[in-house]
Amino acid sequence: MFKWIAGGLAAFFSIRYLSRLQKAGKNITSRIKVRIHKINLTGFELSAEVKLQNPNPIALDLQHPYVKVLFKSKILGTSSIENTIIEIPEHSEKTFNVKIQSAGWLTLIQVLGVQISEDIRLGNPIQLPIQTQIITRVNGLPYEKTDTILLQL
């Protein structure tokens, strides 16, 4: 009889703990800033600052974030994939600096158009509405967030 009670209590607390981890993974907040890092002959390189905030009273394990930058649902560039797990303590935040390599100029001209690509190449001031997508895993559960931001040069 004691084994059944102990087993039931263990199952109850395990399910409760896993439920809290799942809820905490949904409460995570992310913010992203993107800027043009450098322009060269092969294209341009973007840099992104990804800030992940944990407002929960429990520490979270998350995979290093993967970032995609899109313009009108077409990919401008992506970050590299890193298979590392980082812990964010309770009530804290973690900032990641991510390099995003864009496609070559030919692809950029097809996606952005000739005028915008030429303005970027020459360093003329532009304001480009882009979508950023952050993909990671929080406590083993997938997390994805898409934002629309303004890229300025």
Q: Rounded to whole angstroms, how far apart are CA atoms 146 and 32?
A: 10
Mean pLDDT along residues 65-79: 89
More confident residue, 8 or 35: 35
Amino acid at 144: E
Buried b (16+ CB within 10 A) or exposed e, 76-105: bbbbeeeeeeeebeeeeebebebebebbeb
Check residue 34 and report its DSSP letter.
E
Is residue 22 scored above 60 in pLDDT?
no
More confident residue, 152 or 25: 152
pLDDT tens digits for 91-128?
Answer: 899 998 999 887 778 888 888 888 888 887 787 888 88
CA dihedral 10, 14, 15, 18 (to 10 degrees): 180
DSSP-derived 3-state class of residue 128: strand
pTM above 0.85, yes or no: no
Mean pLDDT along residues 72-97: 89
Token pair, residue 86, equals: 């980082």
Domains and their CATH numbers in the chain? 2-152 (2.60.40.10)
Beta strands in 43-126 (DSSP E): 43-54, 60-63, 66-71, 74-79, 85-88, 92-102
